Amino acid sequence: MLNLDLKTDVLIVGAGPAGVSLAINLGKRNIPCILLDQKKRSDVGYKPCGDALSPNSTRKLFELSGIQQPKGEEIGEDLESAHFKPVLDFELWIPFVSQTIHRLKYGQRLLESLVDYSSVEFKPKHKVIGTILKNNKVVGCNVRTDTGDKIKIYAKIVADCSGATGIVRRNIPEEVSDKFPKKLQKKETIVSYREIIETSEPHEYQKQMRIETHDELPPPGYFWIFSKGEKLLNIGCGWLINDSNKEYSTKKVLETLRNKFFPGVKVVDGAGDTLPGRLPLYSMVTDGFITCGDAAALVNPISGEGHGPALLSGFYAAEKIELAIRRENYCEEELWDYNVKIWKTYGYEGALGIAVHKLLNAVPFSDFSYLFEKEIISQSDVDAIMGSTSVKLPIFQKIWKGMRKPKLLIKVARGLMLAEKIKKISNKYPETPEKFERWVRKIKRIERKNL
Ligand SMILES: Cc1cc2nc3c(=O)[nH]c(=O)nc-3n(C[C@H](O)[C@H](O)[C@H](O)COP(=O)(O)OP(=O)(O)OC[C@H]3O[C@@H](n4cnc5c(N)ncnc54)[C@H](O)[C@@H]3O)c2cc1C
């Protein structure tokens, strides 16, 4: 029988933003790679998403590697402000530059740009069904091809860019690496559903991004409304799974909210998915293996923003892979620097996210109005949280404002202290694998703390 097995330097699993960015950046370095996706070519890029993508992320990527930013029809709308309605009748807003984009169109253009790189081969309708290991190293994947054949693709390095499923990672047994989880726990997963809706008249949210909470949502759920054009909106809801909300359907809750706030609108598209809601994986590499984007849990747990981190992590991974290939050394130590880079870049965002989620779980919605009315959480704090800069501990400056609810104030202060502690630990990510165990013990101890 004909042997259809293949061999390459880098096998990239998944042609979402992480995989395509990695492929382009390896192509620029003339490193042979195969990029594959289970989808057909014309569907690559489509993804149920809030569609918000900060031009800061894409500008950074452009400056680092020349990957083009969204343009023309790929941009739904340039957003100018972010509005937060944590409780009824109360609203905070900040000037906020972002864009809603057309994910399919932008994804397709990035995919098409691969023709410039002869070292990159794209294979649509190829589904990874297993990970191949040899001597406790990742050496390739079992793949079902577009013709239904089962083949093996061998590579010096396999990059898992398969999104929240992490198909390669979940097939790496603990004996090979216990530094990352095979499967994320339910409580580390955000469930989400979104619709693209068309209004008959220009809607009232032009150039806005809104995040609101409503009684219809199980805590810590949120409802978003992102403008995509004069009569087009992306609306959605989501929440980090916990024991009390796991039975709720995101689709049904969104339907209720849509009927309440946008009765009679035309639903252009509706789809849901999951996304990681935790700190980045403690390690994202092992021998012959690296992971980027959602598969590495690089999603901001507050805003759900993962598109930018997926694109950027593809670039950072390409830098490390190039060195490994040039040195002909594909082991964990050689790829380790990628962990350091990612943790220093995204550790604090994750930390703030964990703190905010703990707070949302620990504080009833009614107490939130008090926090905002008394300005214990202020506009500048929200600004800082969204920009992932340091949030001031309110306990000293604002203690007098929260006198009536000292326990609540303590919870807020503890949440922010927790985020600061995780930030410090993120910045001390071990430079080599030897000190990893100690570092993980430390960060887990802090993560487990209740407010
Ligand atoms: C409802 C929702 C709303 C969101 N809103 C926003 C937002 O507003 N802004 C933002 O920045 N982010 C948002 N995100 C997150 C964002 O969509 C992701 O972070 C981003 O798409 C991650 O990119 P990725 O390349 O890592 O994974 P993905 O985009 O998920 O791409 C993974 C690719 O891998 C392929 N694949 C999977 N399994 C296999 C397999 N076995 N074999 C072959 N191919 C496979 C898939 O077909 C897919 O093409 C949202 C997510 C959801 C679910």
Closest atom of ligand 1 to CA, residue 293: 26
Regarding predicted confidence, which is higher, 214 or 447?
214
Q: Is 107 in the pocket of ligand 1 (CB under 6 A)?
A: no
What angle, 0 to 180 degrees and rounded to 10, lies between the N-to-C axes of helices 406-427 and 436-448?
A: 170
- The answer on pLDDT for 370 being more than 80 is no
Among 129-138, 245-254, 297-306, 328-337, which is the least confidently predicted range? 297-306
Q: Which atom of ligand 1 is nearest to the CA of 294?
A: 26
Judge if the beta carbon of residue 70 lies within 6 A of ligand 1: no
pLDDT score of 257 more than 80: yes
The answer on pLDDT for 379 being more than 70 is no
Whole-angstrom Cα distance, residue 252 to residue 258?
A: 10
Of ligand 1's listed atoms, the one at least distance from the Cα of 44 is: 49
Decide: 276 in ligand 1 pocket, CB within 6 A: no
Predicted confidence (pLDDT) at residue 355 exceeds the cutoff of 90: no
What's the CA-to-centroid distance between 323 and ligand 1, angstroms?
Answer: 27
Give per-residue pLDDT as tens, 385-399: 555 555 554 445 555
- Indicate if ligand 1 lies below 6 Å from the C-beta of 311: no
Task: Report d(CA 339, CA 410) in Å as an integer.
Answer: 33
CA distances from 5 to 1, 119, 140, 143, 424 (A): 12, 18, 10, 9, 46
Q: For residue 135, what pLDDT is reported? A: 96
Pocket test for ligand 1, best of 12, 41, 49, 161 (most atoms within 8 A of CB): 49
Q: Is the CB of 317 under 6 A from ligand 1?
A: no
Q: Residue 91 pLDDT > 80, yes or no? A: no
Write the DSSP symbol of residue 174.
T
Question: What local confidence, expressed as pLDDT, does residue 407 receive?
Answer: 75
For range 199-213, the mean pLDDT:
95
Q: Determine contact, residues 157/288, Cβ cutoff 8 Å.
A: yes
Is any ligand 1 atom within 6 A of the Cβ of residue 51? yes
Ligand 1 center to 164 CA (angstroms): 7
pLDDT digits (tens, 9 = 90+) for 314-326: 999 999 999 999 9
Poorest-confidence range of 2-11, 50-59, 365-374?
365-374
Q: List, for residues 152-184, the tens digit of each pLDDT value.
A: 999 999 999 999 999 999 999 999 999 999 999
End-to-end distance of the chain based on CA atoms, in angstroms? Answer: 62
Is the per-residue pLDDT at 293 higher than 70? yes
Task: State the pLDDT at residue 230.
Answer: 96
- Closest residue by Cα to atom 51, ligand 1, is 49
Question: Which of 21-30, 210-219, 337-346 comes out lowest in average pLDDT?
Answer: 210-219
pLDDT band at 381 (very low <50, low <70, confident <90, very high): low
Residue 39 CA: nearest ligand 1 atom is: 47
Amino acid, single-letter form, for residue 201: E
Tell if the pTM clears 0.85, that is, is over it: yes
Q: What is the atom index within ligand 1 of the atom nearest the CA of 314? A: 25
Instruction: Judge whether 199 and 258 are in contact, CB under 8 Å.
Output: no
Check the CA dihedral 147-21-341-209 and report its sign.
negative
The predicted pLDDT at position 359 comes to 77
Task: State in Å: Cα 16 to ligand 1 middle.
Answer: 6
| Mean pLDDT for the stretch of residues 423-430 | 88
Could you tell me the domains of the chain?
6-75+100-185+278-346 (3.50.50.60), 187-276 (3.30.9.10), 349-448 (no CATH)
